[in-house]
Amino acid sequence: MSTRPIAPSEITPRALFDERREFLRVAAGLSLGAVLPPAAAVEKLAPARKSPYSVGESPTPFKDISGYGNYYEFSSDKTGHIGPAQAMKTRPWAVVVEGLVAKPKTFAIEDILRLAPLEERIYRHRCVEGWSMVVPWVGYPLAALLRQVEPLGSAKYVEFVSHADPAVMPNIGRRLLDWPYLEGLRLDEAMHPLTLLVVGLYGEVLPNQNGAPLRLAIPWKYGFKGGKAIVRIRFVERQSETAWMKAAPNEYGFYANVNPTVDHPRWSQARERRIGEFRKRETLMFNGYADQVAHLYAGMDLRKFF
C-alpha cells in the first residue's frame, strides 16, 4: 500500500463534494417517479383554463415534481414521504373557515372544487434548501374562498392548519415540529391574486405526496409557506407563530419572501439548483415576482422581516 502524501490539489473542496453528493441523492430520488400511483386516482378535475399569471418557462416533469419534496408529517427525507402519503384518505374532506369573519362556514371539498373556475398556473417554486422547480398547479385564487366568509375589519392575518393523523403520518407525535403544521399570511398577502388555492397538478387531481386534496402556492415565498392538506383556516388579529418559527426562529421567519440578499444561517440563498439541472442559477428577488408583490413590503426592512 502506498503511503505517498496526498497533495492539496488532489483534495476535493468540501463545497464541491457536498454539491455532487446532493445532486446524486436528488437523481436517485427522482427515479421513484416511475412507480408513483396515477395522479387521477381519486377523480377527474374540471378542465382548467390557462392563466395569464403563468411564467413563460417549461414546467418540471411530473415525475420529478411528485418524486421529490418536503412533507415532514410523513418523513424528513426528500423522497421518504411518497410511499407513506398514499395511505392518507382525502375523501371525505372538509375545511373549516372561522375566526374574525361574519359568516364562518365549513366547506366540503366538493364545494371548494366548484367555487370558482379552475386555472392552470405555471409557477416557480423555490425551496429554502436551495432547490427549485417550475410547477403547473391547478386551482384558483385563495381570495375566492376567503370572500365567502366576509372577513371583519379586525382581521389582519390568516392561519392555515394542516391535517395531522398519527395513524398514517409517522412523524406526528414526534418532536420534529409542533403539530399540527401551522402557517400564516398577512391578510393582503392571502388576498393577493397570485396566492393560489391548489387542487391539482398537471391537469389532474393533486397527488397525496404534494399536499392533496388542498394546499397553497404562494410563488414569491419559500415553499414551506404553502401548507398542505389544509383542514382549517382562521382569521386572526395578530401575527401567528408558525411551525418553523417555533422550531428555529433564527432560521425561518414569518414572511419567508425569496430574497437572494438575505442568507439562511447555514447556506447562501443567492443561487439555486433547478431540479433536472446540475449547474446553479441566480435566485431572483421575490422569486421573479417583484413587479407584482414588491409594493406589499414598501418601507419594510426585509432583513429584519425575513
CB atoms within 10 A of CB 262: 15
Q: How many CA atoms lie within 13 A of 79 on its CB side?
A: 16
Domain assignments of the chain as residue spans, ordered by start: 12-297
What pLDDT sits at residue 42? 55
Q: Choose which CATH entry (3.40.50.720, 3.90.420.10, 3.40.50.300, 3.40.470.10) describes domain 12-297.
A: 3.90.420.10
Q: Extract the residue ranges of the chain whose pLDDT is less than 50.
A: 1-41
Cell (9 digits) for 194: 397570485
What is the model's pTM? Answer: 0.87
Comparing CA positions, the residue from 89, 90, 101, 64 lying closest to residue 79 is 64
* pLDDT, tens digit, 9 for 90 and up, residues 97-129: 999 999 999 999 999 999 999 999 999 999 999
What pLDDT sits at residue 100? 98
Cell (9 digits) for 199: 387542487
Phi, psi dihedral angles at 268 (to 5 degrees): -75, 150
Phi, psi dihedral angles at 234 (to 5 degrees): -125, 135
Provide the sign of the torsion angle of the four alpha carbons 202, 206, 211, 215, taken in this order: positive
